[in-house]
Structure 1
Amino acid sequence: MDDALFDAEPIEIPANNKFVTAPLAARMRPSSLDEVVGQPQVTRADSPLRGLLNPDDDNKLAATSLILWGPPGSGKTTLAHVVSVSTGRSFVELSATSSGVKEVREVIDLARRRFARGVGTVLFIDEIHRFSKSQQDSLLAGVEEGWVTLVAATTENPSVSINSALMSRSLVLPLNPLKDEDVIELLAKALTSEKGLKNKYTCDEKALEHIARSSGGDARRGLIALETAAGVADAEKRLEITLADAEVAVQRAALRYDKAGDEHYNVISAYIKSVRGSDVDAAIHYLARMVESGEDPKFIARRLVILASEDIGLADPNALVMAVSAMQAAQLVGWPEARIILAEATTYLALAPKSNSVYNAINEAIEDVRKGNAGAVPLHLRDGSLPASRETGAGKGYKYAHDFEEGVASQQYLPDNLKNKTYYKPGSRGAEQRFADLWERIRQVLRSSK
């Protein structure tokens, strides 16, 4: 990697350059804390961040990493840029979703060389919670030596998702979703700012309120919707943005759902938990949000297949059949008709009796194997098809189940050290009650003495 990639001064683009194509959200990004809308706990005069940005105490920031914890659109990337601009440091951005240890070490090495020349570096890592422990560990040298000022953004609780070594060197700044009035203030600034829409448009107050409500506290989403609404007005050769324009701009944006970001995982999580919790209405709601956002129907269907086994299991064996059929049918027809198929499967699985007995059974068995509690396969169950194996006694004494009236023979199947182990503990809901009674009778035969 070339030092010039990071050492080059930012290029100033004249405000009247008609070829500027940066999105409105990027153009409106603040360059100082005084320009930041909302987040008073961060921007107030006595806030810890203002203290760190004090130009008279340059070493203070170098010794402190920042962890910005908040939902999408709350200003994490904006604050990282503010730190860079306010302190005159170079700004380097990595995304945890597309960068690995190699990329981190390359940036740290370049920052080290710049540090030796008296040039500081702000390293912004978006979605740091997606970094593994080893990836987070690769940041430690740069942070400890002061080669980089780390600004990390996360939507997850940093106490859980970020390792203790980084946490001990970091100031955690919680951020909140913007209030509707904050978003309206930001939209109003965008309408008049030379960096924004330059007073070209007027905007109906109800249109601003609709965009603010639809943004769900996400500044970026609100600015995108405003820019889209301006485009709708432009297409009709109007300079007034109406409520109808705003409705068109946001009608296909599911509230607080971002297919490429963290809300993607939040909505699918809420969807699965609603089906598991038997709330059909909530499950259908979250399904609708994914449908409107253009989510891949195969992704939704695969999650239903997993849920059918994990959360329903033998309480309703038809649940897995339903889920697999829905997955195949959704793949066959695609959107928009797949919404009906997925809604039918969602409703069925939400109303089905629930059991995680099979899920618990396999997990408990895997845990035993990982702990070394495997044990030798009983001699009578071993393969005795070859003369050499038969000479060891393999297969001797095996009882063929079909030779017995009930199809069950009294013999030991588990290894000796696990012979009294019970993994499958059936529940009492739905069809599993029948399996519970059956399993109890079978166990009595299997483990009866002869």
Structure 2
Amino acid sequence: MTEQGVRWTTEQVLALAPDEASRKAGGRLGGAGPWSQTGGSASGAVWGWCKGSGSTPYRTVVDLTGPAYKCSCPSRKFPCKHALGLLLLWAAEGVGDPVDAPDWAGEWLTERAAKTARPVAGPVDEEGARRRALRRAERIGAGVTELEQRLVDLVRAGLAGQEQAGYAPWEETAARMVDAQAPGLASRVRELGTIPGCGPGWPARMLEEFALLHLLDRAWLGASGLPEPLAATVRSRVGLPSSGEGETVRDHWLVLAQYDSASPDGRLITRRIWLHGLGSGRPALVLDFGPPGRPPGSALPVGLVLEAEARFRPGSAGLRADLGERFAAAAADTRVPAGVGTQEALAAYGDALREDPWLESWPVVLGPVIPIPGESGDGGWQLADAQGEFALPVHLAGGRPRSGLWQLAALSGGGPVTVFGECGHRGFTPLTAWHPQGAEPVALG
């Protein structure tokens, strides 16, 4: 099939693994030995039977357009080792030419196609929706007023006691914001509780977050006087669902980065997938969520390209998107995105802040740049323009491992590289890098 003509790499397949044990187990199943009845379809699916410890082989099928997986094994990991092994076999060209799917695989693929089709909107009770929106706005307004009073009290009393107070008071305040139906405010409040334990300089950082939270509170209370794009951003930051659909863009989307982070209370895993439209040049951020111990369902390894519709949500500086209809299986791609200089990166972040003052960072491809290690080894790193006199400090946001910095230095070897990452007011967080002569991107960290 056409999509199978451009195979994924072994690294891209193994990047889907939920943990190191799955990577190793899937790697052992990547050869032809345990497999039988394998095949693939022109629409972008592969399947096969994998011999296990029982008398009946496990039936495994993968929809490459997702990717999505189905296996008859009892594993609760997603994808399981059999799905990883099948993908490795396919990547090594161990699956034959396109054929029709057998009944057991075809039924699941048909059901999946039906579920992912765009639903037909039914009749809407506009008056009921308006009343519910008014009631929720009133509850949020009361929560915002209560939160403002708490911030005022803390500033008046000083922050000296915050280290001893611990996380519990902030969790209580966050619960009040949940009761007020403002989950966005609750999330920001929970993050405040983690700041006193983050090391030297925490009071200044806490005051910065107080100021941003106060700005959001005041924006909500005065939202009726804001321009609609900014008002949509305020609603999104408070936690209201989008009131309408944003722009839908069909493009070939290059996966620039994918990484997971845990919420401050450890109750939620957030997966961030950064995409770049090869035709539109537009960045897109796809978010997915999962409970602790179970990774989110969406997984797109770095370096894949998928032809799909991206439905952008109003607000959030036009970044947040949901993937809609996909028109082909995701395929590996070796092209390197065009980079910009450090000054242009800062200007892009500044422009984005005008649309969303609470935006912590903006996606940027830098290049060509040279990584410069700090004097202390792990601290003080910079990314300097290869042909210029400007540089950006490196900031490892979200607790990202410092091993990624040394990966970047090794890839560079003192020469220029192209780097994708998030540019914010504390610096640049590198996520993926390309060497000028390299054929594949390197996910950092």
Give the TM-score band, short-chain normalised: under 0.3
- Structure showing greater Rg: 1
Query: When you count helix as a share of all residues, which structure comes out higher?
Result: 1
More strand by share: 2
TM-score, normalised to structure 2's length?
Answer: 0.19
